[in-house]
Amino acid sequence: MVAVAMVFAALPLWLGHSPYQMRIATLMLVLASYAVGFNLLFGHTNQLFLCVGALASLGGYTSVLLVRDLKLAPGLAVALATATSAALGGFLSYVSVRRGFGVLFVGIVTLAVSLILHNLLLGLRELTNGETGIVTRGLGLGLGDDPHRAYYAVLAVLVAALAGYRWLFSSAHGAALHALSEDEVSAELSGIDVTRYKVACAAAASALVGLVGALYADLNGFISPSVYAVGHVDIPVLIALLLGGVRTLLGPVVGAALFSAVDELVRPFGQLTVLAYGVLLVALFLVFRQGVVPLAERAARRGWMAVCRPARVDVSGPEEEVAGGIEAGR
Amino acid sequence: MGVVLDGLVLGLQLALLSVGIVFVYGLGGVLNLAHGQVAVAGGLVAAVLLQAGQPPFVGGIGGVLAAGLLALALDQTLLQPAYRRKGEERLLLALILTLGTSFALDGLFTFRFPNLALSLRVEPPSVELAGVRVRTASLAVGGLALGTFALLLLFLKGTRFGKAIRCIIQNEAGAWLCGVDVARARSATLFLSGALAGVAALGQGFFSYLGPDMGPEFTILSLIVAVVGGVRSLTGTFLASLLLGMVNALLSYWVGTYLTWIALLAVAVATLLVRPEGLLAYWP
């Protein structure tokens, strides 16, 4: 993880001269941060939140409106925006858990909430300017003025989130989360407070998404309901997570990088990007559900063993196969 | 008065659109998020046929068949891996697969036919009926929907195959034990749902116009109806469609589009919270 942080920290030295490439790199980090949050929600606690974009828009609009209309300090506004998103995410999660919703109902409820928020943002014209959007220059921390500052700000958040993720899964809480993602009833019976874990995870992930949504509003210089729409945020996040690998530390980051690369390739074809998203999602879910990172890890482990302990390859080989088979079967 | 009639007709439209999604969920345990796109595909095929100089009748039949065949193709290809799983796994897999499909189809339609629209005109534009001026289009759509429903009921209640389908909705394992071919019934249902959605798309063409980008709207509308009516109940779907159609017409008349959408979605969320099996679902 430290290596990845250093690679990303060094990236601007290479791309720094081109504002366009810096922007692409920053957007990639934004996507990766959303995906880290979504990984916690969907990957670890089986909560299919189809409202990542909505939570981000809540963060973005809250921070911008607090600064514009209530003249709050930008830092405070971003903090309040983060808290607002966390509250909404935690509330949705609490209600879903309490009502015993399965993955389908959580998906429908959160999708409906997304659309409600989208239509609210469109409809409350006096407040949000509707589809025209708001120019956010001068209404935030000033990330929009300097591409490098924007990049490092988002990178700091992403690295902090990854560190938090790593800490979580090296603690006893991580074991509890593993248990409840396998079987919630058994987890509950062995004394794990499933409701609390799910709600806490949802709130934490929503806080991350809201914070990054607020930073995005600042660094993008402009927000409108469509930049946070389901097709612009949730679908890329889902694809990036599946591509990189669900339930892994670096999966969201690797997936976001790959997705951004693919997105750049198909961007010249206009509406075909939507087609590409759809095909990618279907193809990934059908044939490649484990993602790049677990695949690479396994390949690396195998290569490592072949180099260091050639005598033991024969012993560990079949075990690896079995483990792979189980994972693929899941 | 005109608004009320519009609401009724809109409700019938919604019913046409939603019966398919409910049917497929009840029978296959699969929520088809590409349902609206299937409808749009039917409408676009009809529009292409009309542009090629075919008579409206041929265009309409072609569109409905195309929508049905597209749904059947989905069933035969993408949904197969989902059918091999059970319960939550099946739902999730099918949910993501059809979500991806819906985006793929949306992208394809708006890329390939950016300016194509299905718009069916009837002459004269309005007629006098019992002292009230009524749009002919409304009557046409209402008649189309009612006729289609009559056929559907005849099929479900009158034929052996229709009865078999209703059996499966009640109890899949039981039906299978009685010798009902579940996979075949499922394919037939997918085709039927697509064809019904295609009819709804034609209705939209009569009402105003149908564009290549209306798939998501259709999917969401049918989802809302399915949720409010109960995802396993046909009577509930029908009642919910009429109710929501009326609400939609009245609200868009009074408060505008955005608030109408918010109200409809809020009704759906509230239903899920208060009575997840469907507000109007009938449970014996």
Confidence tier at A200 by pLDDT (50, 70, 90): very high
Q: How many CB atoms lie within 10 A of CB A99?
A: 14
Q: Is B268 on the interface with A (CB under 8 A)?
A: yes
Work out the minimum CA distance from A112 to partner chain B, whole angstroms: 6
Q: What pLDDT shows up at residue B56? A: 87
Confidence tier at A194 by pLDDT (50, 70, 90): very high
Mark yes or no for CB contact B97/A119 under 8 Å. no
> Is the pLDDT confidence value at A230 over 70?
yes
**Strand residues in chain B grouped as ranges (E):** 126-129, 132-135
Q: CA angle, corner A320, sides to A315 and A323, nearest 5?
A: 135
* pLDDT tens over chain B, length 284 residues: 678 888 899 999 999 999 999 889 888 888 999 999 999 999 999 999 998 988 888 999 999 999 999 999 999 998 998 888 887 888 888 998 999 999 999 999 988 888 888 888 777 777 777 777 778 888 888 999 999 999 998 998 899 988 888 888 878 788 888 888 888 999 999 999 999 999 999 999 888 889 898 999 999 999 999 988 887 677 888 889 999 999 998 998 888 888 899 999 999 999 888 887 776 665 43
Instruction: Name the residue with higher pLDDT: B169 or A262.
Output: A262
| Residues of A contacting chain B (CB within 8 angstroms) | 48, 95, 99, 101-105, 107-109, 111-113, 115-116, 119-120, 122-123, 231, 235, 238, 269-282, 285-286
* CA A72 from centroid of its chain's CA atoms: 28
Mark yes or no for CB contact A108/B256 under 8 Å. no
List the single residue in A with minimal CA-CA distance to B95: A104
Number of domains into which chain B is organized? 1
Going B218 to B224 to B226 to B229, the CA torsion angle's sign is negative
Q: At what angle do helices B182-207 and B160-170 cross, to 10 degrees?
A: 100
CA distance A35 to A53: 11
Q: What pLDDT shows up at residue B280? A: 64
- Candidates B88, B90, B97, B99: best to mutate against A (most CBs of A within 10 A) is B99
φ/ψ of residue B280, rounded to 5? -105, 10
Beta bridge partners of B126: B135
Please give the mean pLDDT across all residues of chain A.
86
Q: What pLDDT shows up at residue A326? A: 40
CA distance A250 to B255: 48
Confidence tier at A315 by pLDDT (50, 70, 90): very low
Instruction: Name the residue with higher pLDDT: A11 or A68.
Output: A68
Beta bridge partners of B118: B210
Q: What pLDDT shows up at residue B274? A: 84
CA distance A282 to A291: 14
Beta bridge partners of B128: B133
Any domain includes B188: yes
Any domain includes B253: no
Q: Is B38 on the interface with A (CB under 8 A)?
A: no
Q: What pLDDT shows up at residue B132? A: 72
Mark yes or no for CB contact A285/B100 under 8 Å. yes
Nearest to B102 among A116, A122, A278 (CB): A278
> Which ipTM was obtained for this model?
0.88
Q: What are the chain A neighbours of B91 within 8 Å (beta carbons)?
A: 102-104
Structure tokens at B23: 């049917």
Confidence tier at A330 by pLDDT (50, 70, 90): very low
Nearest to B100 among A105, A111, A282 (CB): A282
Instruction: Name the residue with higher pLDDT: A209 or B272.
Output: A209
Mean pLDDT value of segment A309-326: 42
Structure tokens at A219: 């660094």
pLDDT for A156-172, tens place per residue?
999 999 999 999 999 99
Q: CA angle, corner A276, sides to A274 and A277, nearest 5?
A: 65
Mark yes or no for CB contact A109/B223 under 8 Å. no
Pick the range with the lowest mean pLDDT from A8-12, A131-135, B95-99.
A8-12
Residue partners of B33: CB distance under 8 A and separation at least 6? B95, B98, B99, B101, B102, B219, B223
Best CA proximity match to A53, nearest among A88, A25, A23: A88
Q: At what angle do helices B215-229 and B182-207 cross, to 10 degrees?
A: 120
Mark yes or no for CB contact B272/A103 under 8 Å. no
CA distance B169 to B171: 6
* Residue-level length of chain A: 330
Any domain includes B26: yes
List the domain range (segments joined by +) for residue B142: 11-213
